[in-house]
Structures are given as C-alpha cells and as structure tokens.
Structure 1
Amino acid sequence: MLLRVDVPVADGLLASVPLAMGGRPSPFGLDPRDADMALRMLTDGSCPPLEFAGVHAHLASGLAAPELAAAARSVAAWADDLARRHRVPLRELDVGGGMAVDYGDPDARFDWVGYGAALARLADARPELRLRVEPGRALTAYCGWYATDVLDVKHSHGEEFAVVRGGTHHLRTPAARGHSQPCHVLPVADWPHPWPRPPGRPGPVTFVGQLCTPKDLLARAAPVPAVRPGDRVVFAMAGAYAWNISHHDFLMHPHPTVHHLDV
C-alpha cells in the first residue's frame, strides 16, 4: 500500500496556486509527524494483510510544469528520508497530478515535454522506483463539449445576459472554479416560432442557466458576436469535472443527453 502524506514543501511553492491540498494544514493525507507511526504499524506486524510499498502525495492543482516538477522532487526527497529511517525499500512513489489547465486560454497547454524530462531525471536517480503521476483533468478536459441553445437574451443594468437551456446543474466547472467557460456561438437561421425573432445586440454577453441562483453562471462577458434566442452555444473544455460533479437534480430540471464519440 501507499501512505498518503501531506508532504511539506519549500516555502512559497504553493503560494499562488488556485487549489492547494497539501504542503499546509489540510484534511488530505497524514500529517508528516504521523507517517513514522503509520509505517511502523506496517512493518512490525500490527497490520499483517498490508505491506508498505511507498508514498502518495497530491499537493495542488493548477501548477505549471516547473512548479509541479519542484513539488515532485520535494515529495521524492521526503519519501526517501522516510524509507531510510525505517530501513525499508521505497518501491513506488505517486507524486499526484495538478497539471495546469487554462480555461481562459484553451490553446495554452501544459508543458508535458519539460515535465516528463524532469520526472525522467527523478527516476534515473532511483532505478528501483516505480514513479506514478495522475494526469486526469489535464488530458480529458479538452475532450468534451457542452452544447445547448439560447432561450432568451435580456438587457439588465447595461449588460447583456443570454439564458441557455441547462446551466451549472449540467456543467458545474465554471461555478466550482470561478472561471468563465470558453464558448462559441453557432447562429441558427431557422426561427420556428410565429412571432418575430428578437434582434441581437453587439457586445460581450454573460451566459447563465435556468436555475434561480446568481451562481448559475457559465461565462461572464464572453467576447462573442451578437446572440439571439434560438442560437446554439457550445462550451469547450467540458471533458473533466463537468457533469460528474454537477448538482444534477437541482430544481428537477432534466438531465442532458450525453453522446460518446469515437473519433
């Protein structure tokens, strides 16, 4: 088994990250001072079905490659010291994930080449060690889209709001992380209703959902062309922490239709 530990890191390394789970007081992982006791229990026969294999530490999310590599080096050095103190082999090391995903700039990607080179140097110094990472969101975020349509466009206190079918009960990522989800408007020419279609207004548009809360916000002041009721809106980067963390049945709105494409 791997011991999940809140490994200490250098001062300032996690100071600016949007979401930190370690390197400071945290509900995640063992306090480093308790790791010795836990390891003694695994090696003195107190827990016969369990065998110590190594250390797991996931310290933060939203780190660029240099900072994430520095965190991995801190975890490896701490785990080396723990194993030496107890004279046990360190066979596995999981340095977690946390690769930065920039929703404000979808074209900016994590430096996998630089991070991989840093991990290779870390592994070369420990040829007996199996090194693990958790790339998760940094791989899958770009593999999903949330498509919906505009129900209404309203003007309020000098701003434009487009109300879409659905909302954060389908795509909770922007509300949970406090960002605007990147989106594209697909104008629809056909207007199926007998009354005239309202004209679109130029300028930035804030996209909101159908829920009765101001937190049902998908994108604020999005720089898109004029939006009209009936237009389609496609929100990109919805392949991670989207539907699977959403409050699905809030106000009993219907679930979205999910399509899996093999491309």
Structure 2
Amino acid sequence: MSLIPFLKWAGGKRWLVSRHKDLFPVHYNVYFEPFLGAGSVYFYLNPKQAVLADINEELILTYIAIRDNWRELEELLALHQENHNKDYYYFIRGESPINQIERAARFIYLNRTCFNGIYRVNLKGKFNVPIGTKDKVILETDNFREASELLSRAQLHTSDFEQVIDASSTNDFVFADPPYTVRHNQNGFIKYNENLFSWNDQVRLADSLWRAKNRGVKILSTNANHQSVRELYEERGFNVHSISRYSSISASAEKRNQYEEIIVNANI
C-alpha cells in the first residue's frame, strides 16, 4: 500500500500517480528524484533503493528528521496542534530553531496551517506566508513510522539537480519534476518562470537528462506544455506527450490547452 505524502506542495504529483500509474517503469535498479517536494511519486513507487534530493534545505532536513527520529517529531507536532491559533502561528513563523527535530516540526506545522500550503521566503530567507484556514496539524493520513522505514532505504541530499541526475547509471530510473507553472504556458511563459526555474536551468535539465538517456537510464519528466520546452526535449530524442490531470495523454495538438503539462520519457 502506498503512503500518502505528509506535505502539501505546489505542483505536487498526487494526481499523476492516481490517474497515470502506467507511465512508471516496473523494473529498475535505483530510483532518483532530484526535485523531491512532497515526494508523491516516491511514496507511491516505494522503491528498494533511492537517491532523493532537493535544493530546499529545510525540506530535506524534514525528511531526515522523519527517517531518524519520527517519534519525537510526532510529539512536537502534537504540541503544535494543542497550541495552534493565530498568535501562535505567527510566533512559530518568526522562530528560527537550531534543533533538527524542532526545525522539521516547525516546517510541517507551517505547511499544514499556512495559506494554501505555499512555501515562500523573503529576501532574507524567512518564511513569510500568512496563516491559512486549516487548523489540523495532526492528520488521519499520517504514518511517520512507515515513512521512516521507507526513507531508511534512501540517500537524502540538499543538492542541485544536475549532480543527482549525473550519478544515475544504466537501468536506474530518474523522475524529474522541476518547478514550473501551467498558467502562463503561452504569453510570457519564459519571463514569468525566470525566478521560479530559469531558462538556463531548463536547458541544464534537458542536457543532464539527455546524458542520462544515453547511459541507458530510464527517464520520466514533467514540465510545462510550452513549445520552447517541447523543442528542448524533441531535439534531444525524447518522447514528448501532453497530459492533463483532467484528461488522458494526447500527442494531438488539437487536444492541448494552456493548462496542460508534458510528459517526457526515454528508455521506458
């Protein structure tokens, strides 16, 4: 049985694993995910070996805390639940704990009670999302014990995506879900995304996946359904299809719209 992710994350792929299970390879060696986020695909696949990474240090520290000390983390979340109110939220938001477990509990608490589960920091690196309407800190779907057991099979790194992908070998599987928006897929796509995931990053990602493809790595990647992005991968010999959380996969231009995404794959 697949675990339900414990985080809400912008661009999360719960819909992908629930509607398009057939996209994922059945057999592979090591699973690589360089943009971990909420880990929807990782928790669904439940791989025997994994290398998981993200550039967000707080996120990776939270996964490490769950892997190494989930009981204490759960106790701290219960305290946050007991004390939660508007004043308490902003007090915790303004805190900068040093202890790893406290940092992880703070991260999960803010994720579950902030506005829309958004992760955003200001220029000083301080989390600045206002309080949201949800007040549940402990969820019925939480299973930190099993998450800890699964994460014990994984290497966890705070890292740029390129070195993670470059570490993959023949018959490994890379799932790459970079940051992108689907609401500006036409006018202004590149400009709008520049601060989210720059065009130079898009090119680096395409090149690193191309190198992995040539090593015999199995690849599945998601991205915005924008012509410039499609061309990056079509020129490098990838299979590219449009996909929507509301419809089936289609290679037909007539069935695409500005809110659809693309699936890029190779060797699967």
TM-score interval for Structure 1 and Structure 2 normalised by the shorter chain: under 0.3
TM-score (norm 2): 0.25
Higher relative contact order (CA 8 A, sep 6+): 2
Bigger proportion of residues as helix: 2
